[in-house]
Structure 1
């Protein structure tokens, strides 16, 4: 991408010095050594990228951060080992009850040549299978087919010039979206592995992205405190939601399509009314960056994860704090809700993954033996 690189928010760089490195090399084209150095420097920073999608229960999809390993965890057996970077729950397991026992059902080593920083899991109704999409610092988006307890690579999608930091799968269409440090959003056809379109998100980054529930829009969080809304069909920016705040690290749509929530580097959470574009609530319960947030399937609760080590549960309609959960010893990097409305999963830089019961506000299972921080869920 030509031109002068856009510099990130200075306060954001103070928290994440790797941002400056990535910006420095953004104007260089091609696949030379400087670009790889920028991505490698960024990979060493211990933080979360993007928001988690709604999490069907109870099988968890995992991807190891540094060893680029994919794991599928079944709701039976003993705890899984290794470092979980990404987590998601199989849509086919909807309706089954969560248990307190988990085991590795499948493991895919060397899924990418570099760290996997984002994952999404959806259903392929035509083939009666499931689709997993991963984004990595190797600049690639990969599409996997999960069927008969196997994970097979379908497509390896090239196009991004820097590491892929966020991916999502449409709820209604066979398409996926990815965003990258190259400040571009790309839409992919999951049926043929072809790129549908490339959207230039500049001069601001598309740091995290999420499809609207009806898949008509794609929301992205930026480092200038705005949520940009792009039309999926047009590929153009339709409008922006201004938080009047700082670097947005996480966004999430409510499943009913009424709300969009954003989490910022200063610990502020904003909830917007989608129909009017108005800011409904500003929540200030956290003291540090909001790494992730997720709505409950009934859209009544919002769960947030922060560097302050706490998970908070909010009543969306009244903006009331419904609960504060502790248990992680360090940054909480991600949260993902389960569709039964009774459980959600959290991951942390303390190298653990926890399963929580919403009703009792208690942790029902913990994976203790990760060798690296557990980072992103979908």
Structure 2
């Protein structure tokens, strides 16, 4: 029986709270903390109605190490699950380190002043977490997260050598809004508008944003045009999949979405440099975020599916084989179960399960780790039970 502290009350945080509450034999006491308590109260009420479990609520500024230390000391959790903004990863890790508590997140640190998705800042904590006997689990969402574990499973159980990986992500859902993002608009738009990047033959290669695309046949969804982006799981998988010759990441966008994004970018609304407006400094992208629907509000009436997985090619017993490992998730089912859309659901379920793996002593080793550095089998054995069944198909 363990206490858990969840920081961040957005769409993903809500899913994590619901899924932890559904495992009272693992999570004996759940505290949810955020800068504002209103969302926490809504989530706690939803959990109470669905499971009968009581959720404790606390207020915290996750940019303040001192406030975080006070909160962690007060709640005394076995692990902190970070579903706040990626800007706050380092303050939460620092507070965990100082209070002697283990850590898990779903996305890597992102410096506010620059779109630079990389793990270097968090990997730098390796020695300190090791010395304190604490575990930090990085990127335990879906992508990064489950996709890393699909690759690790292929590495350990299917292939002798993996040479090529394409991580493919399709949201074929319809939320009914002319333009909205399925997770934090700042992070989502920064991710899409930065240069594309992929690993090939021992080096990183760069392309202009959204300049390369291909048609991919997504399971249960069909053929969709997907665009090459950079995604942070590539950085760790390059280190942890030996023999890799190339890894790329592809994501689908509707034509309507891309038209809106192009116009917003052309008029400067996606910028992250401050501009002066009527005597105030504002960041255009932060202002745009306030105008767009909250991702956690999209689930009502959301139809369609997500289809996300890994296309993996390599050698087994001297023969070339190609497999796809994937999950399909329905927006409507996710909403009916926990009141969330499938993008939040597919990120939140693995975070709760990753914390369970730690608390059960399966993923418990001192240091800072990406999920593919743990045994993928116990996690993947539970993933279907927790709501994300997965399949392997020959290509």
Same-fold call, TM > 0.5? no
| Larger helix percent | 2
TM-score, length basis structure 2: 0.30
Larger-Rg structure? 2
More strand by share: 1
Higher relative contact order (CA 8 A, sep 6+): 2
Which TM-score applies when normalising by structure 1? 0.31
